Amino acid sequence: MISGVEFEEYRPMLLGLAYRLLGSMWDAEDVVQEAWLRWQGTDRSTVREPRAFLVTVVSRLALDQLRSARVKREAYTGPWLPEPVLTSEAGPLDTAELRDTVSYATLHMMERLSPPERAVFVLREAFELPYDEIAEIVGSSMANARQMHHRASVRVAEGRDRFQPTSEDHTTLLTKFIDAARGGDLGALTELFHADVVSWNDGGGKVRAALRPIIGRRKVLSFIGGLLSRYDFSEARLLDVNGRPAIWTRVAGVDQLIMIDIVDGHIKGIYGVLNPDKLARVHPG
């Protein structure tokens, strides 16, 4: 049986699980705290596998929270983007699957999934649970769990690069992005962007931000060019966020974090988080 001290050894893993399911570390912490309270009230002599028990509790609590959160996110002002976290706070990242499922682009793509699909995908991809255990957690048959995993895998992979870009790839493109933006060099930015690049900006109604995704290289360049013509972009640095480098900057007195998705060596997704509530964990030291 595990004590409270030993529960703390599981906490980073449980936080990482809940964060992947919810896209919010604030909500993940609430879920893990509730799991702790339930563990405290559990007759531990009935628990054969504490880790499996806690994974089940956290997954089910996160599923319930995700179902209610989706309604709130549909009423959100502008695009809703996941809350970024420093890589050092993202939980264990011992495998390529753990790193990929906490990457910002993957978290964003997982918003396309239904709550059960997201749970199946995360539990299988990141934590390698067998289908019978996953089926019990989400309340489905094993065959249906397999089908949900297949559907989720296809949807998450849509438009993604078959070969996972490395951190070095992100650093190279982001450094070029910073240099081009500082110099107002739209020609250099053009070379960095995929023809089908999309920019999402999350101000949450708290700060000014584009209220709809900006689609296509021409429109994204026009949007960024307009910002660069009015505001200084000299204050920018790289941070390690969600397992990949990201740009932290301050534009017109507003902090923002910029993450990218890479396809065919070009920037295809730009995720700008400006909502101050989502930046509490990622300020540079």
Tokens 């007759």 locate to 43
| Interacting residues of 39 by C-beta distance below 8 A, sequence separation 6+ | 7, 53, 54, 57
**pLDDT at res. 243:** 95
Closest to 28 in 3D by CA, of 51, 58, 71: 58
What pLDDT score was predicted for residue 36? 93
Specify the pLDDT at position 158: 87
pTM: 0.93
The rounded average pLDDT for each run of 10 residues, N- to C-terminus, in the chain (285 residues) is 71 96 96 94 84 95 93 91 95 91 96 96 96 97 98 90 86 97 95 97 95 97 94 90 96 93 96 96 81
Supply the pLDDT for residue 19. Answer: 97
pLDDT of residue 4: 64
| Residues of each domain in the chain carrying CATH 1.20.140.160 | 4-157
Write out the two tokens for 239. 């941070």
Parts of the chain belonging to CATH 3.10.450.50: 167-278
Class of domain 4-157: mainly alpha
Are 203 and 78 contacting, i.e. CB atoms less than 8 angstroms apart? yes
Longest dimension (CA), the chain: 66
Cα 95 to Cα 204: distance, rounded to the nearest angstrom: 33
Candidates 181, 185, 184, 217; CA nearest to 199 is 217
CATH code of the domain made up of 167-278: 3.10.450.50
Angle at 18 between CA 94 and CA 52, to 5 degrees: 75
Return the C-alpha torsion angle 41, 43, 48, 51, nearest 10.
Answer: 10
> What does the pLDDT read at residue 3?
59
